[in-house]
């Protein structure tokens, strides 16, 4: 499977972001990508006024996704892209849509909300129901998770237990002390501990680090981007995956199951 991962600097104007997404889709299709992973916050990004996320949110049948559906018609490339979707009462879902040939083939609503490093995503965003979302692409099984989800190893393991061989991780990873190191460690660990590929797209620009990457089942970074917009390429190979799982049979050797039940959210107090 040929994987492309794109990153760009999301703006407040969704039409500008749509143009950036469409340009990356065009490059991916021209390059023969089976899978293209685009960032979280691809619809709109409000740095100083995060409360405006709700007013900018669009449903999956809104103009942003509808335009992307039209752009993918007749193309074999599956595009994973993030947006905020209205959830009622002024709240939103942080949603991933997997789009292929003019149709939505899967959707995932972020489970782990970014209430960390002084941020409070849960003030505006409702979490999803936690069910693993895995879909087929070019004979492979792709699992979906979003940004902060990557800090929770049980999330990736549930996806792999559901059949995922590649984890697609759109993100908008905020800059901060050691944060780029956190990103690299977490993305690599999720690949290595599950002997799977991870295709992680990071939004770049004024607030976020970019640093999109693809990691193979033995934890090797196959390609990565820096802080600027761009597109990277990698190959997921069936024989390579099987060889990694024979050499490092952690999935067969493990002794514990991951319980898929959802814990009640707990507030963190000072």
Q: Report pLDDT for 49.
A: 87
Q: How confident is the model at residue 270 (pLDDT cuts 50, 70, 90)?
A: very low
Q: Report pLDDT for 269.
A: 52
Total-model pTM: 0.96
**pLDDT of 36 strictly over 70:** yes
Catalytic residue among 147, 165, 203, 204: 147
- Are the C-beta atoms of residues 96 and 170 closer than 8 Å to each other? yes
| Residue 137 falls in the annotated catalytic set | no
106 burial level (CB within 10 Å; 0-12, 13-18, 19+) = buried
Residue with tokens 């024989």: 239
| Residue 147 falls in the annotated catalytic set | yes
What distances in angstroms separate CA 135 from CA 76, 105, 144, one per listed residue? 15, 7, 9
Q: How confident is the model at residue 268 (pLDDT cuts 50, 70, 90)?
A: low
Q: Report pLDDT for 267.
A: 64
Phi, psi torsion values for 125, nearest 5 degrees: -115, 135
Q: Which domains does the chain have, with CATH numbers?
A: 2-253 (3.60.110.10)
Catalytic residue among 21, 85, 110, 204: 110
| Residue 73 falls in the annotated catalytic set | no
- Are the C-beta atoms of residues 141 and 135 closer than 8 Å to each other? yes
Q: Give the whole-number percent of the chain exceeding pLDDT 70.
A: 98
Per-residue pLDDT averaged across 226-247, rounded?
A: 98
Catalytic residue among 21, 40, 137, 203: 40
145 burial level (CB within 10 Å; 0-12, 13-18, 19+) = buried
**Interatomic CA distance for residues 14 and 245, integer angstroms:** 42
**pLDDT of 84 strictly over 90:** yes
């Amino acid at each position: 499977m040929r994987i492309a991962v794109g990153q760009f600097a999301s703006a407040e104007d969704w039409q500008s972001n749509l143009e950036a997404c469409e340009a990356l889709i065009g490059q991916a299709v021209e390059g023969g990508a089976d899978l293209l992973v685009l960032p979280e916050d691809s619809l709109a990004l409000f740095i100083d006024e995060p409360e405006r996320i709700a007013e900018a949110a669009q449903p999956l049948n809104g103009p942003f996704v509808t335009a992307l559906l039209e752009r993918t018609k007749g193309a074999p490339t599956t595009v994973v892209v993030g947006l905020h979707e209205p959830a009622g009462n002024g709240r939103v879902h942080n949603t991933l849509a997997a789009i292929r040939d003019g149709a939505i083939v899967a959707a995932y609503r972020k489970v782990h909300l970014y209430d960390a490093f002084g941020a409070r995503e849960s003030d505006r965003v409702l979490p999803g129901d936690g069910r693993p979302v895995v879909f087929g692409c070019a004979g492979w099984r792709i699992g979906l998770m979003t940004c902060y989800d990557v800090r929770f190893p049980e999330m990736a393991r549930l996806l792999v237990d559901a059949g995922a061989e590649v984890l697609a991780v759109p993100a908008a990873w905020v800059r901060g002390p050691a944060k780029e190191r956190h990103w690299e460690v977490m993305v690599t660990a999720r690949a290595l501990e599950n002997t799977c590929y991870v295709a992680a797209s990071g939004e770049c620009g004024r607030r976020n680090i970019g640093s999109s990457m693809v990691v193979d089942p033995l934890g090797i970074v196959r390609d990565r981007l820096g802080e600027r917009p761009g597109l990277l390429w990698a190959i997921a190979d069936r024989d390579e995956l099987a060889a990694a799982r024979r050499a490092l049979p952690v999935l067969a050797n493990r002794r514990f199951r991951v319980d898929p039940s959802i814990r009640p959210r707990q507030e963190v107090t000072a």
